[in-house]
Every structure is written in structure tokens, then in C-alpha cells.
Amino acid sequence: MASNNKIETFHITTFGCQMNLADTSTLAATLTTRGYRRVPSEAEADLLIFNTCSVRERAEQRVLGRLGEISGLKRTKPHMKIAVVGCMAQRLGAELREQAPHVDYILGTDRVFELPDVVEGIEGTDSVMTAFGHENMDLITPVKETPHSGFITISRGCDNYCTYCIVPYVRGRERSHSVDYIVDGVKKMVDEGVVEITLLGQNVNSYLYEKTDFSDLLARVAHETAIERIRFMTSHPKDLSHKLVDVMADEPKLMRHLHLPMQAGSDRILRRMGRVYSIEHYLDTVAYIRKKLDYVALTTDLIVGFPSETDEEYRQTLNAVREIQFDSAFMFRYSERPGTKAASFDDDVPEKEKIDRLNRLIALQQEISLKRNQREVERVCHTIVEGESRRSNEFYRGRTEGNKTVLFETDRDCTGEVLPVRIKSADSFTLHGDIVEAG
């Protein structure tokens, strides 16, 4: 708690994707370096920070709901400051104060790391800052997420303008971090005990720094650092190259998981979504991946009920899902995002129909996930142990090379270790196994 009403402690709540989690870790480290102390509860904090997401309306409503709930806290602690940073701050700017007048600071996606300067009233800062182009990308220090795993953002923004997506508007044009920044960031994390790194970008496949493309970058991270395991996300089907798959096939440090958002199975809908690939191209890419990699878990994102999607086009999505057999999928019904191109389309699939299409798709994918997971039975998975299971302290929880959650029993704390676990059973969401003892 502050003495003399000074800001001494902070609390951050993160909404949205892994890139936000990575930014939260970095922001927390920046504040800590400046002398502020992170506290586990909002009630103890002098500065409440909300790192926000705009991808879905629900995410923004949750932030607004939370801001409403804490307005009473602010009345009892008038010196407390509230900061909304990230995508929603970028999208709404000062307008956010119309809905939440008690918010003190609103910092857009390129201004998040200036929060300590804003709090300290350093000259040139303002309580609302959303202009792009102020972030000196390589000055942002990557920070590990847990003692054994870390995220490094390799590129920011997106140039793809998929018609349903708000990201290019709130995160700006795509720009890549330098190779040195990424390689040095991984080395620093390895020195701190990290064994698994995830390289993050809205479209990692279009990473380009000078002449280094994403495949070259992966090879350099694998060869020039002592990191044991490398993951990346998200890939775009139009940019995922054979060269990248070949690097994955040759490099055992690269985990056998590809998240490749398909979104829809109909070419007309893909065109309307601005996805710039055909379903044939997507299927060819999957075929190449499965030919080159003896084992790979393939996951995806899918949207149903996109404006004008017919029954037949929806069936094409089901057919593609049946044919490809994804290990798992994030599945959504279309919802309009103001400010996107698709918001000008007639949102003509009735809500009831969208829900029905989504439920049928989820049921199909669950069957497929079950089958895919049961194929893992008897396999020995090299599993990074993340800690005790969230549901039961009888089990430990880990993630396989294919990014699947596996539960197993152990009588010692092996968090952070990479252990061989033989899978003995599986359901649609989780694997169960036993540690393979050496000798």
C-alpha cells in the first residue's frame, strides 16, 4: 500500500492472446525495474492495469464489466490509478472514458511500455496516447513467462486485413524485430533457466529482417542458442513455406506442432474473408506437412456463420475438417467487429443458425480430437512439466511436443523438467500417462 498516496504497487490483469501475456511480463519487468512492486491482488495495488484484447466483442465487454466493478474501489482509494493498455485502448482511445470515466491512463498498443513515464508525468507524455510509431521495438526487453518457458514476440502488427479482423487496425503495420534481438533474448532466457521458447507474431511466416526470413530465423535460434525446445505461432496458410516445413523436419529442437488457421472450407467464403488462399492450397500444405514430418499435431481456427455462408458452404467446412483430421480447433461463430470490412457486410446468418452450425462443428471436432489423441496411446512423449494439475494435486501437468496436455503421477516436484511420458489413455482434451523411468 502506498504511503503519502504515492504509486508504489501495481496489479496487471491480462485479456486475450499470448502476445498480450508476453507484453504483460515485459511491462511488469519494466515497472519493477523502475521501483514499483507487483502485488497479487487488486485491493493491494495503487496502480491497476488492464492489458486488453479487441478481437471479440466479449473480450471488450469483460474489460468494461471489470472497470465497472472497480469504480467503487476507486472511490474508497482516491489515489489509486487505473490504466487500460493494449488493443482496446488503441481502438477506443479517449472514447473509452465515455463508458469508464474513472480510467486515468489509456495507452495504445505502441505505447504500452511508456506507462511508467506516464505515471511519473514525464514531459512529453499524456494520459491518452494511441499514436503508432513510438515504440522502439528492440528496446522492449523480452521476459520469461514462467521459470522454464518464455515468449518472444518476433514481429508486431499485421498487414493482412482479413475482413473480419480488427488486429491490423489496433496493432498497426507489420514490423519485425531484429535477428540479434531475438537470438540474444533467447540466450538471456536460457541463462535464466528457460527450456522452451515460443516465438510469437500475428503471422510469423511473413517475418523478414533484412534478408533473414522466418525459416532462417528458426535455424539461427536453434543453432546459436542452447534452448531445448522451440515453438511458434501463428502461421498463415498463404505464407507457410515448404522451406519452413523442411527446417522443422531437420531440426529436433522444433516442436511438432503447427497451428494453421483454416477459418473456412469454402473458397468463396475464404475470398470474402480476405484469406488469400484456396482450400486446395490449404489441403496441399497439410499434405506436404504430413509427408515431411513423421509426427505432427495440427491445430486450427474456424469461423462458422460468416455473412452469406450457405448451408452448402458450411458443409464444405465440415468436409474439410473431416478430411484433414485436426488434433484440435478453436471454433467460433461469426460476430461483427465494428471498424472491420466485414462489418459492412449483411450479417445475414440468423444467430440460432450460427449456434446450431457451431455446435455441430464442435461435436465433429471432439470426435476427431478423441481419435487423434487415442493414436498417442503407447507413444512416449517428451513432455515439459508445467506444474501440478490445475484440477487435482494428485497429478502433474505437462505439454507434449505436439502441445497436448498430459497428466501423470509423480512423487516429486519435477516442474520445468523435460521427461519421457508413455501415454496410457486419452480423451478429447487430455492425455494420461506414466513417466518412463530410466534404466
DSSP 8-state class, residue 173: S
Q: Is 176 in the site for ligand SF4 (CB under 6 A)?
A: no
The upper half-sphere exposure of residue 110, i.e. CA atoms within 13 Å in the direction of its Cβ, equals 18
Helix (H, G, I), strand (E, B) or coil at 98: helix
DSSP state of 142: P
We find the least distance from the C-beta atom of residue 329 to ligand SF4, in angstroms, to be 15
- 373 lies in the binding site for ligand SF4 (CB under 6 A): no
Candidate list 51, 149, 160, 176; residue touching ligand SF4; CB under 6 A: 160
Minimum CB separation from ligand SF4 for residue 236, in Å?
A: 5
Of residues 225-254, those binding ligand SF4 (CB under 6 A): 236
Q: Considering beta carbons, is residue 52 or 203 the nearer one to ligand SF4?
A: 203
Cα(43)–Cα(48) distance, integer angstroms = 9
Q: Using CA atoms, how far apart are residues 41 and 1, in angstroms rounded to an integer?
A: 11
Regarding 387 and contact with ligand SF4 (CB under 6 A), the answer is no
**Spatial distance between the Cα atoms of 26 and 33, rounded to a whole number of angstroms:** 10
Kindly calculate the radius of gyration of the chain based on its CA atoms and give it in whole angstroms. 22
**Binding of residue 303 to ligand SF4 (CB under 6 A):** no
Rounded to 5°, angle at Cα 130 from 128 and 134 = 115
Rounded least distance, CB 133 to ligand SF4, Å: 19
**128 is an interface residue for ligand SF4 by CB under 6 A:** no
> Distance between CA 135 and CA 27 in Å, rounded?
13
Q: What are phi and psi of 318, to 5 degrees?
A: -60, -45
Interface pick for ligand SF4 out of 107, 167, 194, 279 (rule CB under 6 A): 167
Pairing of strands 196-200, 149-153: parallel
Counting residues that bind ligand SF4 (by CB under 6 A) gives 10
Q: Binding segment for ligand SF4 among 16-24, 142-150, 163-171, 394-402 (CB under 6 A)?
A: 163-171
Which range in 116-124, 157-165, 291-299, 417-425 contacts ligand SF4 by CB under 6 A?
157-165
C-alpha cell at 211: 534478408
At closest approach, how far in Å is the CB of 119 from ligand SF4? 30
Instruction: Report yes or no: 372 and 256 within 8 Å, Cβ to Cβ.
Output: no
Q: For residue 212, is it left (φ>0), alpha (ψ between -120 and 50) or beta?
A: beta
The span of 147-155, 158-166, 307-315, 376-384 binding ligand SF4 (CB under 6 A) equals 158-166
Per rule CB under 6 A, is residue 53 in the interface with ligand SF4?
no
- CA–CA distance, 115 with 96 (Å, rounded to integer): 17
Binding mask 308-337 for ligand SF4 (x = CB under 6 A): ------------------------------
Write the binding mask 178 to 217 for ligand SF4: x where contact by CB under 6 A, - elsewhere: ------------------------xx--------------
Of 208, 175, 178, 334, residue with least CA distance to 269 = 334
By CB under 6 A, tell whether 264 contacts ligand SF4.
no
- Binding part of the chain for ligand SF4, among 18-26, 62-70, 156-164, 183-191 by CB under 6 A, reads 156-164
User: Is residue 294 exposed (0-12), middle (13-18) or buried (19+ Cβ within 10 Å)?
Assistant: exposed
- State which of residues 7, 129, 165, 381 lies at the interface with ligand SF4 (CB under 6 A): 165
Binding site for ligand SF4 (CB under 6 A): 158, 160-162, 165, 167-168, 202-203, 236
